[in-house]
Amino acid sequence: MIKTQPIKASAADAMFDVLRKSPEKMTIVALGPMMCLADMFKKHPSSKKYIEQIVVMGGTKEKIVGKPYREFNVAFDPESTDIVLRSGVPIVLVPMELGHMAYLDKEEISRFKNTNKIGALYAKMFSKYNDFHVGKLGAAVHDVCAVYYLTDPDKVKLEECHAEVKYYDDTLENYGYIETDYDKAPNMSICVDIDIDDFKDNLFYTLGKTSRLYEKCEKK
């Protein structure tokens, strides 16, 4: 039974409260559109001094029919993304490319299904997942790549680059995207390669470990 209650404070206030009470600087992993994070920077500018780095899952250098790819986390809230990228806080960008490199094939998805309750749930989700870039080969796991960078940073290759929010606009659509430029002065790091075998080994190991904790909670 869930015993916690929704907090009354806004997301910006709640995040700032957690940051300022922490005995050491914290790392924020942004796995979706960054409205709440941008709101915190606007409302509590001092919050930046409590942050070690921000790992952003978002953006891609890939293009579709000559147009920047409309990656969800950036495309539908580019204003917030721009605020975060310009915040001055150290940024590590984890683009969609990593998820396309380390995608799960059908055999690995079946392995998820046969592990435990949590794995079966993920396998069911993956079976309906359709990524344009991976196609029918399997399922890309973009967000997990961002977390993996934190747990095994030596297994992910980084490059220094300049990145900023740009806008694509024509008569049919208007959206934001992140443009990288290696000729300008770097303002963040970007992940460009990943140890695929180690990533998958860690993913299945963590799944088993999490399942054991879940089962203990169920017994209580």
Tens of pLDDT, residue by residue over 114-128, are 888 888 888 888 877
Q: Given this model, what pLDDT does residue 17 score?
A: 96
Residue 134 predicted with pLDDT over 90: no
Average pLDDT of the residues in 106-119? 84
Coil, strand or helix: which one is 147? helix
Per-residue pLDDT tens over the stretch 86-103: 999 999 999 999 999 999
CA distances to 1, 100, 104, 127, 205 from 137, rounded to whole Å, are: 39, 11, 8, 11, 23
The yes-or-no verdict on residue 211 having pLDDT over 90 is no
| pLDDT at residue 185 tops 80 | yes
Domain map of the chain by residue range? 11-101+142-192
Q: What is the pLDDT of residue 3?
A: 73
pLDDT, residue 15, reads: 97
Query: CB neighbours (10 Å) of residue 62?
Result: 14
Looking at residue 201, the DSSP 8-state letter turns out to be H
Is residue 217 scored above 60 in pLDDT? no
Predicted pLDDT of residue 4: 78
Taking only the tens place, the pLDDT of each residue in 52-70 is: 999 999 998 877 777 898 8
3-class secondary structure, 69: coil
Nearest to 81 by CA among 17, 127, 38, 137: 38
Tell me what pLDDT residue 136 has.
Answer: 78
Percent of the chain at pLDDT > 90 equals: 63
**pLDDT(219) > 70:** no
Give the architecture-level CATH label for domain 11-101+142-192. Alpha-Beta Complex (3.90)
